Amino acid sequence: MNRGPLIFLGIFLALAFSWTGIVLTNQIQYGSLTPYYDQNEGKTFPDKPSGLAERGRAVYQDLGCLYCHSQQVRRPGFGADTERGWGERQSVARDYVYERRVFLGTMRTGPDLRNIGARQPSADWHYLHLYDPQLTSPGSIMAPFRFLFEYRPVAGERSPKALKLPGDYVRQHGLDRPGYELVPTPRAEALVAYLMSLKDTYQFPEARPYVPPRKEGGSK
């Protein structure tokens, strides 16, 4: 008896089953999901990311930020994502249609970043936080990203982007050379532009929480 071909068929069908179910069916179901056109506002949502934010996405990718930060807000009542202020609503598939890489993430060593642009709208805060997380979040275990900054002599005027470090921090860390400033590199600028672009504030119809219909004549 030669059962080789039969075994092979079974092995093939086993994986074909989930490939059809998980990959193919979902690709057909919502693989061509389009942005939502809002007639009142006369534009589509979500917003298209800017070129600078797209470059920042590449920095987020190459530094591996997603291994500590998720980018998805779970629905109210499942976890405490909205209670923590990580988003006003749950994330929906349409939020991600423009993203060539989806950084949903599986780990929250740090907080969720899906709406970090709305929660921390200040670029200065982001620069300080990236340079040394202890400056803005004492006790954080986030890696410092000092290599995204440059300590350089002031050329002409001080850069408006120069980091506004506290005076004692500057002295302690020897960053007080006269005529020098600490500025973000273009990669840091792109990364911060990306982080500040992360905000899902538009209410898609499908993102409204489900409210069970009230029974007629029920008590209030």
177-216 binders of other proteins (CB under 8 A): none
Q: State the amino acid at position 69 in one-letter form.
A: H
Q: State the amino acid at position 6 in one-letter form.
A: L
Cα separation, 103 vs 114, whole angstroms: 9
Which residue in 95, 194, 198, 199 binds other proteins (CB under 8 A)?
Answer: 95
What the block records as the tokens of 145 is 């990203």
Number of residues that bind other proteins (CB under 8 A): 75
Span 153-182, contacts to other proteins by CB under 8 A = none
Cα separation, 108 vs 106, whole angstroms: 7
The candidate with the shortest Cα–Cα distance to 38, out of 212, 213, 201, is: 201
Which residue in 52, 123, 142, 170 binds other proteins (CB under 8 A)?
Answer: 142
Instruction: Spell out the residues 6+ positions from residue 2 whose beta carbon is closer than 8 angstroms to its own.
Output: none
Closest separation between CB of residue 81 and other proteins, Å? 8
In whole angstroms, how large is the CA radius of gyration of the chain? 24
Closest separation between CB of residue 125 and other proteins, Å? 15
Closest separation between CB of residue 26 and other proteins, Å? 5
Beta strands in 27-97 (DSSP E): 36-38, 43-45
Closest separation between CB of residue 157 and other proteins, Å? 29
Which residue in 96, 131, 149, 194 binds other proteins (CB under 8 A)?
Answer: 96
**Contact status: 151 vs other proteins (CB under 8 A):** no
Closest separation between CB of residue 15 and other proteins, Å? 5
What does 131-153 look like in DSSP terms, one character per residue? H-HHHHSTT--PPP-GGGEEEEE
The candidate with the shortest Cα–Cα distance to 198, out of 86, 107, 30, 110, is: 86
Span 29-88, contacts to other proteins by CB under 8 A = 29-33, 60-68, 70, 72, 74-75, 78-80, 83-84
Span 4-33, contacts to other proteins by CB under 8 A = 4, 7-8, 10-12, 14-15, 17-19, 21-23, 25-27, 29-33
Cα separation, 70 vs 93, whole angstroms: 15
Span 105-124, contacts to other proteins by CB under 8 A = 105-111
Question: 64 or 153: whose CB is closer to other proteins?
Answer: 64
Closest separation between CB of residue 25 and other proteins, Å? 8
